[in-house]
Amino acid sequence: MMKVLITGGSGQLGGELQRTQPPGSTVFAPGRGQLDISDRPAVTAHVRRTRPDVVINAAAYTSVDRAEQNAEDALRVNAGGAENVALAAMEAGARLIHVSTDYVFDGRSASPYATDHPLQPVNKYGESKAEGERRVMTATRDQAVIVRTAWLYAATGANFVNTMLRLFRGQESVNVVSDQIGSPTWARGLARSLWRFAATPGLGGRFHWTDDGECSWHEFSLAIHDEAFALGMLPRRCRILPITTCDWPTPAPRPAYSVLDKRTTWRALGMKAPHWRAALREMLQDVNDNAPK
Ligand SMILES: NC(=O)c1ccc[n+]([C@@H]2O[C@H](COP(=O)([O-])OP(=O)(O)OC[C@H]3O[C@@H](n4cnc5c(N)ncnc54)[C@H](OP(=O)(O)O)[C@@H]3O)[C@@H](O)[C@H]2O)c1
C-alpha cells in the first residue's frame, strides 16, 4: 500500500490530489497550519514520523503580485521550503514529486517551451520557483520529479475562473487581457497526472503538464462565460472586452507566452491531457451539479 505525504493540503491542487486519491493508498495532507514547509525541523520530524513512500510538494507561496514586495517570503517557501521537503524525502528514502510553474520561463518564445529550456523568470515569484527547482535537484541528486504546470484553476480557490464568474454575475462588462498566451489547466487533471507519476517508479527530471491547446486570458474568459451561461450559472450575459497588458498594469510583470511542450511527459506517462476547453466544461458541469439547489 502506497503512503503519500502531500504538502499544501488545503490549496487547490492539494484538494484535488485528495479528491483523486488512488484506492488503497494512505494520504497525509497537512495544510500550512499543520506543516509549514519553511520550518526544516518540523518537515524532517513529520516525514520521519509518517514514513511516506512518496512526497508530493504542492505547497507554495503563490501570490505572484505580492511576491514582488515580499520576495524573501516567496524565496523562503518556494526555494527554502522545497529544499526542506526534498532533504527530508531523501533521508526517508521517499520519492519526491515537486510542482513548479511556467513562470520560470521568460515568455519571449514563439513556440512551446521544452523541459530543458533555460530558466529566465521575469518576476520574483518565478525567480523563487526557479531557485526551488535548482535546490530540489541538488538535494535529491537529480532524482526528483519536477512537474511544471500553468494557469491552474479548481472549484475552490483564488483562481481566474472563480474571479471571472464573480465579475460576470456582478458587472455588465469586464475587460480582459488579450496579449498573454498560455494553457488553462484544471487542477483535477494535473492531480491525476501526479498520481500517475507516483505510480511510475524510475522517472526523474523535469516534466510539463497542462491541459492541451493554448489561448489568451481574453479567449479563456469568453469560454468561461459561454460554458457557464449554457449551464444556467449566470443570470444574464456579460460583455467581455479585450485589452492589452499595458492597459492592465500589475506589480509583477507576466510572461507574454508561457505554453509548455508536453510531448515527453505524455510519452513517459502514457497519458495525454484533454483540450483546455473540454476540461473547463467538465469542471463547470461538476461545480453546477454540486451547487446547492
Ligand atoms: N495557481 C496557478 O495558476 C499555478 C500555476 C503554475 C504553477 N502553480 C504551482 O502549482 C502548485 C500548487 O498551486 P495551487 O494553485 O494549488 O496554489 P494554492 O491554492 O495557493 O495552494 C498552495 C498551498 O500552499 C500552502 N502554503 C503556503 N505557504 C506554505 C508553507 N510555508 N508551508 C506549507 N504550506 C504552505 C498554502 O496555504 P495558505 O493558503 O494557508 O497560504 C496553500 O494551501 C504550486 O507549486 C504552484 O507554484 C500554480
One digit per residue, pLDDT tens: the chain, 293 residues? Answer: 899 999 999 999 999 999 999 999 999 999 999 999 999 999 999 999 999 999 999 999 999 999 999 999 999 999 999 999 999 999 999 999 999 999 999 999 999 999 999 999 999 999 999 999 999 999 999 999 999 999 999 999 999 999 999 999 999 999 999 999 999 999 999 999 999 999 998 999 999 999 999 999 999 999 999 999 999 999 999 999 999 999 998 999 999 999 999 999 999 999 999 999 999 999 999 999 988 77
- Contact 217 CB / ligand 1 (< 6 Å): no
- Contact 31 CB / ligand 1 (< 6 Å): yes
Give the residue whose CA is nearest to atom 40 of ligand 1.
32
Strands (E), 12-85: 26-28, 54-57
Give the residue whose CA is nearest to atom 5 of ligand 1.
150
Distances (CA, A) of 202 to 104, 193, 207, 268, 287: 25, 16, 14, 10, 36
Residue 117 backbone zone (phi > 0: left; psi -120 to 50: alpha; other: beta): beta
Nearest 10 degrees: CA dihedral of 134, 138, 142, 144? Answer: -70
**Are 288 and 233 spatial neighbours (Cβ–Cβ below 8 Å)?**
yes
| DSSP annotation of 55 | E
pTM reported for the whole predicted model: 0.97
Q: CA nearest 182: which of 118, 256, 247?
A: 256
Q: How far does the centroid of ligand 1 lie from the alpha carbon of residue 228, in Å?
A: 26
Distances (CA, A) of 164 to 28, 126, 178, 236, 282: 32, 24, 15, 14, 17
- Contact 279 CB / ligand 1 (< 6 Å): no
Q: Which residues pair with 48 in a beta bridge?
A: none
Q: How far does the centroid of ligand 1 lie from the alpha carbon of residue 166, in Å?
A: 22
Give the residue whose CA is nearest to atom 11 of ligand 1.
58
For the CA of 148, the closest atom of ligand 1 is 7
Q: How far does the centroid of ligand 1 lie from the alpha carbon of residue 117, in Å?
A: 24
Q: How far does the centroid of ligand 1 lie from the alpha carbon of residue 66, in Å?
A: 13
- Contact 77 CB / ligand 1 (< 6 Å): yes
What domains are there in the chain, each with its CATH number? Answer: 3-150+186-211+259-274 (3.40.50.720)
- Contact 183 CB / ligand 1 (< 6 Å): no
**Are 50 and 72 spatial neighbours (Cβ–Cβ below 8 Å)?**
no
Furthest-apart CA pair in the chain: how many Å? 56
User: Which residue is it, cell 484533454?
Assistant: 274
